[in-house]
Structure 1
Amino acid sequence: MLFRSWQEPVERPWPDVVAVPDHVGVAHLVVTRHALVRQVLADPEAFRPDNALDAMTPIPVGALRILARHGFRLPATLANNGGPSHPEIRGIVAGALHPHRVAAQRPWLTTVVRERVGRLGAALDAGAPVDLYADLAADLPLLVLARLVDLPEAPAEVVKEFTRAALELFWAPVDLPRQRVLAEVVGRFHAVLREFAEIGGGLVAELRAAGHPPDAVIGALFFLLVAGQETTSQFLTLLLHRLTGTPEVLAGVRAGTVQVEDVVEEGLRLEPPIVTWRRVAARDTELAGTPVPAGTSLVLWLARAGRDPAVVAAPEAFLPGQRGSRRHLAFGAGAHRCVGAQLSRLEAAVVVAETAPLLADVTVLRAPWYPDNLSFRMPDALVVARR
C-alpha cells in the first residue's frame, strides 16, 4: 500500500492512524484524516521534517561510494530543514518565487503553451497520435523555473533524468543494481550543482551573500529542481489525463461556465503531485489516541486527506467548485508549505485554458504508467489521438 497509495479507493475504510510496515520491515504510522494530517504539519515541535528526504530503501555501501566519488552531500534542504537556517533560506527562495514575479510570467507562458498546443492539434488533425507528457508537460515547468531562478546550463533531458533518478533513489523500493545506476546519475549532476553553487547568480548569489555555505546552496537547488519542476510536470500530466475523461468539465471551461481556477484546485485535490509526505515524532506524544513514541516515522496521506468526506461533499467526483474543493493539502501546510504553490497553479491554469479545445475530442491510446513510489506518481506518457 505504501508505494501505491494513490490507487486506494476512498470507499475502503482506513483507521485514522495505523501502523504499516514498508518493504524492508520498518513500521510507519500512516495518518489518513484531513484534520490529523493538518495537525501534524502545523506542529513542527512535536513532528519534525527531518526524515522527509530519507531514502526509503537504505542506500548500501556500493551506491554510497558512487555518490561519494561525485562529492555528493545533501544537508537539510527546504523540505527537511527544521533548524534555525530554514526561515532565512525559505525567505530568499520565496522572494525568487514571489506571486508578482510569478504572475508576470503568464503572457510568455501562454504564448509557449499556445504554440505547443497548436503543433499538437495539427498533428492530431493529420491523424497522428501525440504524447501530452513528452510534448507538452515534461519540460514546461523547468523552462518557467529557469526564468525565475538562475539554473545551471544543462539540456532539459539531462535535468529531467537527474530529477526522476533522485525521486526513485530516495522514495522508491529499489534493488542494489538499480541503486548504483541511480547513484551515478544523481551524483554526476550533483557535481554540476556544486560548481554552479560557487559561481551562479540570482537566487544562488543571494544565498551565498546571506552567508549560507555551499552545501546549503546546493541543497536549495537540489530541492527546487526536484520539487519545483518535477512535481508540476507530473501534476500537469495527471490533470490532463483526468480531463480526457470529463468532457462535461471541458465543455464548461470552453463555455465559460466552469472556472479554470476551480478545475486546477479540484485537480490538486484529486490528483495531488505529492501523494504522501513524512514527518518524525520529536518526542513521545499521541495522535487521535494512538501513542506515538519519539523517533516514529509518520506517513501523511495527503491524497486521501483531499478525499476526506468530512471536508468535501463528493470525495471521488471531479466537480470543480464543489464545497471543500480548495481545502486540499496538496501543497502541505504550516512552516514548510510549498513555496512554489502559486507557480504550480499558474502553470496548470494556463495549460487547462489552452488545452481545453484540444482535449474535447481525443481518446487515450496510452494512459500513464506509474512506478512504485512513496510520494510521487511519476507518469511516463499520455498518448492521445482524435476520436
Structure 2
Amino acid sequence: MLLRSWAEPVDAPWPDVARVADHVGVEHLVVTRHALVRQVLADPVTYRPDNALDAVTPMPVAALRILATHRFRLPPTLANNGGPRHPAIRSVVADALHPARVAAQRPWLTALVSDRVARLDAALAAGRSVDLYADLAADLPLLVLARLVELPDAPVDAVTRFARAALELFWAPLDADRQQVLAAEVGRFHRVLREFAATGGGLAGDLRAAGHPPDVVVGALFFLLVAGQETTSQFLTLLLHRLAGEPAVRAGLRAGTVAVADVVEEGLRLEPPIVTWRRVAAVDTTLGATAVRAGTSVVLWLARAGRDPATVEAPYAFRPGQRGSRRHLAFGAGAHRCVGDQLARMEAAVVVERVVPLLDGVRVVRAPWCPDNLTFRMPDAFVVRRAGAPRATAGPGLTEPSAAPAAKRSSGRAALFGAEQRSGSSS
C-alpha cells in the first residue's frame, strides 16, 4: 500500500532517511525531516526533478500503445524540468498567475462562493445532506483558472475526470486493466490540450509568442490542470473536513481572534493535498548520514516534514499562528516551488471566510476517503447534515450519497509502500 491520508497522527517512529521498497520492488530513499527535505528541494543540481512524472506502477505495452495512439507526450516543462529552459517557461506561467491578477479575482470568487453557501445552507436547513466536495469545492479552482489563463472549451466534468485520471495513472498502484482505462481517459484529453495549444489564447498564446514549441505549451497546460485545479480542490475539501472537527478554531474565526490566513497556513501544514514529491540523485552524494548513489529515487515526505517537532511547536495540533506553522513545504521550495501558491491561498481564504460558518451545528455523514496514492490524496466526497434538522429527500443537485464500502476506507494510518522501513544511515 502506498502513502495513505493523514486522517490521524502517525505514531510509528521514522528515521530521518529510510530505505523502502515499493509495491513492485523498487527501492526508494524516503526523507522525513524538514531540514533534509528542504535541502533536497533547494539543490536541483544534485537532486533532479526528472522522475516527477515516472509512473509509480510501470506501464505495460497495452497502456503505452493507447497513449501513443493519442500522441501523448509530456516533455520536460515545469515540475519535471531540470534543464536550462525551465526558468523561461516558468516566467511566462508566473506572469499569468501574478499576485495582482490573482487578487483581482477575489471579489468574483467571493460572490460565487457566497451564492453556493446560500444554496447549501438552504439544503441543510431543509434536512438534506450536502457534499462539500462535489457541491462546492470540486470545480472552484478550475473556474478561477479559466479566468486567469484561458482553458480549452471543455465541460468541467471532463476536465476534472482527466485531472484525476492523470493523478491515478502516474502516482497510484494499479493493475493492467485500470491502467488501460486511465490511459484512454488521459490520452483523449491530451488531444484536446494539443489542439488548444496550437490556436488558444491566454497562457497558450503567450507561450507560443515566447517561442516555446507545441509540446511545451501542452505540458504547461497539463501541469496547471493537475496542480492548479485538482490539488487545490482537494485541499479545500481536506481543510473543511479538518475544520469541522475544530470548534475552537471556528469560534476564534467568529470572534476575530484567529486570522483566516493563519488557518489556511496551518491547514497547508497539517492537511496538504500533496504528501510526497520525488527527485532522483544525479551524482553520488550524502544526505544527512546516508550515502546516496546516483540514480536513486528520493521520495520527499512533505506531509511528515510539516509535522517535524524541530520545526513546529505543536506538530499534531491545529493551532493557527503557532511557531513554525508557516514553515511547511506544501508548495515545495527552491526553483520548482509551486508557481500558483498565492492563487491557492486566495481560494482557500475565501472558502474559509464564507464556508466555515456553515460547519457550525453539522455532523459528518461521510468523511473524505482517499485512495492509495504515492503523492496525491484525492478525497472523493465530504458529506454533512445539519444536526437536529428534519430529514428530507434530496433536492436537485444535492444527493444523498451512501457511505463508501468498508473495504475501501482508509485506516487513518500513514504507511509507505506496505513494507518495513529501514534506516538509511548506510548505503
TM bin, normalised by shorter chain, reads: over 0.9
Task: For residue 13 of structure 1, report the CA deviation from its aligned partner.
Answer: 1.0
The 1-side partners of 2:251 and 2:65 are apart by 54
Matched, 1:269 2:253: no
The 2-side partners of 1:267 and 1:74 are apart by 31
Equivalent residue pairs, number: 387
- Partner of 2:181 in structure 1? 181
Greater relative contact order (Cα 8 A, min sep 6): structure 1 or 2?
Answer: 2
For residues 95-134 of structure 1, the aligned pairs below 5 Å read 95-134=95-134
- Partner of 2:406 in structure 1? none
The 2-side partners of 1:225 and 1:291 are apart by 37
- Partner of 2:25 in structure 1? 25
Task: For residue 251 of structure 1, report the CA deviation from its aligned partner.
Answer: 1.1
SS of 2:43's equivalent in the other structure is coil
Higher normalized helix content (fraction of residues) = 1
- Partner of 1:333 in structure 2? 333
Task: For residue 77 of structure 1, report the CA deviation from its aligned partner.
Answer: 2.2
The 2-side partners of 1:182 and 1:356 are apart by 35
For residues 302-317 of structure 1, the aligned pairs below 5 Å read 302-317=302-317
Unaligned runs of at least 5 residues, structure 1? none
- Partner of 2:190 in structure 1? 190
Matched, 1:34 2:34: yes
The 2-side partners of 1:8 and 1:268 are apart by 15
SS of 2:101's equivalent in the other structure is helix
Structure 1 stretches of 4+ with a deviation exceeding 3 A read: 5-11
Task: For residue 59 of structure 1, report the CA deviation from its aligned partner.
Answer: 0.7
Task: For residue 5 of structure 1, report the CA deviation from its aligned partner.
Answer: 6.2
Task: For residue 3 of structure 1, report the CA deviation from its aligned partner.
Answer: 2.7
Contact 2:240 2:356 in 1 (8 A): no
The 1-side partners of 2:114 and 2:5 are apart by 34
The 2-side partners of 1:240 and 1:117 are apart by 13
For residues 192-231 of structure 1, the aligned pairs below 5 Å read 192-231=192-231
Contact 2:5 2:370 in 1 (8 A): no
When normalised by structure 2's length, the TM-score is 0.90
- Partner of 2:47 in structure 1? 47
Partner deviation per Cα, 1:87-125 (whole Å, 9 max, x = no partner): 000000000000000011110000000000000000000
The 1-side partners of 2:380 and 2:357 are apart by 23
- Partner of 2:71 in structure 1? 71
- Partner of 1:348 in structure 2? 348
Q: CA RMSD in A?
A: 0.9
SS of 1:203's equivalent in the other structure is helix
Contact 1:241 1:367 in 2 (8 A): yes
Contact 1:281 1:292 in 2 (8 A): yes
When normalised by structure 1's length, the TM-score is 0.99
Report the AA paired with residue 329 of structure 2: L
Task: For residue 293 of structure 1, report the CA deviation from its aligned partner.
Answer: 0.3
Contact 1:89 1:207 in 2 (8 A): yes
The 2-side partners of 1:45 and 1:357 are apart by 47
The 2-side partners of 1:9 and 1:261 are apart by 23
Task: For residue 157 of structure 1, report the CA deviation from its aligned partner.
Answer: 0.2
Report the AA paired with residue 383 of structure 2: V
The 2-side partners of 1:5 and 1:189 are apart by 28
Partner deviation per Cα, 1:164-219 (whole Å, 9 max, x = no partner): 00000000000000000000000000000000000001111111111111111100
Task: For residue 11 of structure 1, report the CA deviation from its aligned partner.
Answer: 3.2
Contact 1:10 1:316 in 2 (8 A): no
